Amino acid sequence: MITAAETCDFINNVVCKPENVNSLFEFGNFGSSDISRTEILILLAAIIPVVLMFFGLRKKSVIPGRLQSVVESIFTFVKDEIALGVIGRGGEKFTPYLISVFMFILVGNLFEVTPLINFPVTSRMALPLFLSLVTYVIFLFVGIKTEGIKYFTNLLWPPGVPVALKPLVGAIELVSVLLVRPFSLAVRLFANLVAGHVMLSLLLASAYFFVVQPGVGEYIVSKAPVGLAWFTLGLAIYGFELIVSILQAYIFTLLSAVYIQTSLHPEH
Amino acid sequence: MMFYLDTFLAEAEESSSGVDLLLPATSELVAGVVAFAVVFFFVWKWALPAMNETLDKRSAEIEGQIKEAESTKSEAEKSKQEYDALVSNADAEVQKIIDEGKQAAEKLKEDVLTEARAEAEAIVEKAKSDSDAEKERVSTELKSEVADLSLEISQKVASSMSKTDQKKLIEKFIKELN
């Protein structure tokens, strides 16, 4: 946002708006290449967990070091609490997917509070949408494999629904499960990270504008305290966003497991 | 103020393209697919098996250590039992030695007493014997002296007596002596 705002002419424009709202979330190109920095960050969100996992698990020490403890804790948590804890019997098959989703989203989210990056790649719709579609395909596939074509009838008309209500319930279930579910899963992650990113950007950009922005130099003395107040609030929100980043990775993984569980064990 | 509001509304209307944010950029989608595929294959093929292997190794190690600890404990208990038995035997041994010592001392005491008694008896016996011998000697001496005196007296009396009277007197005297 600061990058986008720096191109504005504050003196002559009352409202400064970029040509395309997307540019607020774009990170610019990487050097002179066509690969944007967002794409580089997406690849980094894969490379960083892979490197961490490699260095954490390569020694396979019986007595773990710090990095190994961290990686093992994450793996054990996702496996025991989400894959086996939520899905239950048969959940171990989905452990690699759930661990990958958790690690990938977590690193992507934490870019929001990573100094000098401050841009969560999950605040771009591509990643949440892709991951939610993968989850969607998995839970549909598992459901069809478990129950066959009856999966859809059971999904639309759960057992015990009165005949008179079947059209209504069927329509609600069709929309909520088959249409809205993947979208809501993606938007939940995306919206949280966008909101956090915008909030942090506004607070820190406000601080920046009030204290540093050239062209308002005559007001700098009187406005600097306001900028510092925004900066302080921005730092507090920074801590909050750190929690949000971890929580949203957990929620996405947990909901993926819940959806798979409903297909794998429809009796529940 | 109105000018600003109009400008703002106009700008806001133009910026309704914010819905673009919900549409994924193709290049980012491709990058996302590639990136996630890398993470997934790495976790699936290497990281998770490596962690499971580590956990299995750790479980085996812990089980081994628990077994070793149990074995060491059982050995320690056995050693303790042996030590207790040894200590208990040592007590019995000491008691036996004491008893034997007591018995030896008793026997020694008995022997010394017996010997002392025997010596005392021998001394008493000897003293008795010496006394008897002395008594005999004194008696013999006395008898001899009595005989000498008697002879002397008898000589004196006999010189004044007849031969018959002398003879009677001698016989009577001898008879009394016996």
* Contacting A residues, span 57-86, partner chain B, CB-CB under 8 Å: 57-58, 60-62, 64, 68, 71-72, 75
- What's the domain count of chain B? 1
Whether B152 maps to a domain, the answer reads yes
Q: Which two tokens stand for residue A156?
A: 């639309």
ipTM: 0.86
What are the C-alpha distances in Å from A24 to residues A110, A139, A155, A202?
19, 35, 41, 11
Task: Report the distance separating Cα A121 and Cα B15, nearest Å.
Answer: 22
Q: How far is CA A69 from CA A76, A85, A243, B54, in A?
A: 10, 21, 21, 12
In a domain? residue B18: no
Distance from CA of B36 to the nearest CA of A (A): 6
Yes or no, beta carbons of A99 and B47 under 8 Å apart = yes
Note whether residue B61 is domain-resident. yes
pLDDT exceeds 50 at position B6 = no
The domain limits of chain A are 2-264
pLDDT at site A5? 57
On the question of pLDDT at A41 being above 80, the answer is yes
**Residue B32, domain member (yes or no):** no
B129 assigned to some structural domain: yes
Closest CA–CA distance from residue B6 to any residue of chain A (Å)? 11
pLDDT tens column, B135-177? 888 877 877 777 777 777 767 766 777 778 777 877 887 888 7
At A36, give phi and psi (nearest 5°).
Answer: -75, 160
Around Cβ B42, how many Cβ atoms within 10 Å? 20
B151, part of any domain = yes
Chain B residues with CB under 8 Å of A99 CB are 43, 47-48
Residue B128 lies in a domain: yes
A63 vs B58: CA distance, rounded Å? 8
Residue B8 has pLDDT above 50, yes or no: no
Q: What is the least distance, in Å, from the CA of A16 to any CA of chain B?
A: 9
Closest-CA residue to A20 (of A4, A42, A9, A44) = A4
Q: Do A126 and B20 touch (CB under 8 A)?
A: no
Q: Which residues pair with B16 in a beta bridge?
A: none
Cα–Cα distance measured from residue A146 to residue B136, given in angstroms and rounded to the nearest whole number: 140
B59 lies in which domain range? 45-177
Phi and psi (nearest 5°) for B42? -65, -45
Model confidence over A159-200: pLDDT tens digits?
Answer: 788 888 888 988 998 898 888 998 999 999 999 999 998 888
pLDDT of residue A105: 96
Q: In this complex, is the C-beta atom of A166 within 8 Å of any C-beta atom belonging to chain B?
A: no
Asked whether the predicted pLDDT for residue A37 surpasses 90, the reply is no
Is B9 contained in some domain? no
Distance CA A121, CA A44 (A): 10
